Structure 1
Amino acid sequence: MSLEREDALINSYKESREKVIYFVLAASGSAIGFAMTQSKTEAFAIHHYIWIVAISLWAVSFFCGIQALEYLKQLTLNNAMVLRSERKPFEDVGIASGPLPPKVALSIVYDQTNKKYNIYSRLQLYCLLSGAVIYIIWHIVKMLLIVTT
């Protein structure tokens, strides 16, 4: 496989990861806005605590999406530094010398960053879905309270 085709596949994969993060960011923001409009005229009642949990989960989802994008940028920078270090001496790349060889240090940083990225991207999705389930539960509780009163 040619180098250009490999680069194209890698870029396509990276773009698809970014698109998912941006989609879930948009969904979280939209969910918060929608939920706010659904209860803006109601007086606060005990069942609104469930609503607050759903809003909070969507806010956490939004935050995790932003963090995931940050770690994705760091992964891209780390990959660029590894590629640059293969062409130039480490002193010219701007990597400070330390107790570990630079390639090992870059590998460790990459692994740590990738783990954090995976945590935040998964947490983003799980919080969005959990918020939706909690919001549905809130609606059911609200309907049950209306029926019983």
Structure 2
Amino acid sequence: MTDHPELHELHRQYSDSQSKYVYFLLAAAGAAMGYALQKLDGLPLSWQAAPGLLAVGCWLISFFCGCKRITWTQSTMYANFALLQMQYGLHPEQPPPHLAHAAMSGVRKAIENNSNSASRYYRSQFWFLALGVAAFIAWRVLDMIRLVPDAP
């Protein structure tokens, strides 16, 4: 990539954008949970509150998925750093030359597994946030219908 600085810059912008999106979704889930919990405060536990509780549960899962995504992304970067150290012969626990290929192969496999886990959590974070929004809207609409006075 050093021969193509525009590729490095584009990759940096893409990574920054992904990070900002993950943190935006984390903030949205946190704010939504706080708002929904405020709306649920003082309500008796009933079937009528179930969609609201479902929304909070979905947002909690979304928040968890966002945190796990960050963790797996950091693990991927750390493994990538270790791989580069091994390739340049600079790793603190550099394997002997006859084992280096197997060690680097293992690290590549770890990078792939970590990256796949990060991707799964990335997708789940969004979908649980969206599901929480749908449940919250359904709860508020059902509550409005329940409060409509009977027609004369």
- The answer as to whether partners of 2:62 and 2:124 remain within 8 angstroms in 1 is yes
Q: 1:9 to 1:83 in 2, by over 3 A?
A: farther
Structure 2 distance, partners of 1:85, 1:13, is 26
Alignment partner, residue 62 of structure 1 = 63
2:138 match = 137
The residue number in structure 2 matching 1:106 is: 107
State the match for 1:34 in structure 2.
Answer: 35
Q: Unmatched 5+ residue regions in structure 1?
A: none
Q: Give the conservation status (yes or no) of the 8 Å contact 1:95–1:102.
A: no
RMSD (Å), alpha carbons: 2.4
Cα distance change on mapping 1:118 and 1:36 into 2, 3 Å: same
Change (3 A) 1:128 1:96: farther
State how far apart, in whole Å, the 2-side matches of 1:43 and 1:25 are.
Answer: 28
Alpha-carbon offset, residue 5 of structure 1 = 4.0
1:10 paired residue number: 11
- Measured after TM superposition, the shift of residue 46 of structure 1 is 2.1
Q: Residue deviations 1:43-78, cap 9 Å, x none? A: 443210111110000000001100000001011111
C-alpha distance 6-95 of structure 1, shift in aligned 2 (>3 A): farther
**Contact (CA 8 Å) 2:40, 2:52: kept in 1 or not?**
no
CA distance in 2, matches of 1:40, 1:95: 57
Amino acid at match of 1:52: L
Is the alpha carbon distance of 1:74 and 1:141 closer, same or farther for their aligned partners in structure 2, counting shifts above 3 Å? Answer: same
Deviations 1:112-147 (A, max 9, x none): 111110111111110000000010011111111112
**What is the CA-CA distance between 1:96 and the residue it aligns to?**
6.4
- Whether the aligned pair in 1 keeps the contact of 2:69 and 2:118 (CA below 8 Å) is yes
Please state whether the residue corresponding to 2:148 is helix, strand or coil. helix
Q: Distance in 1 between matches of 2:46 and 2:113?
A: 44
Give distance in 1, aligned partners of 2:60 and 2:33.
8
- Once residues 66 and 36 of structure 1 are traced to their aligned partners in structure 2, the CA distance between those partners, rounded to angstroms, is 21
Corresponding position of 1:86: 87
Question: What is residue 126 of structure 2 aligned with on the other side?
Answer: 125
Q: Which has the higher contact order (CA 8 A, sep 6+)?
A: 1
What TM-score results when the alignment is normalised by the length of structure 2? Answer: 0.84
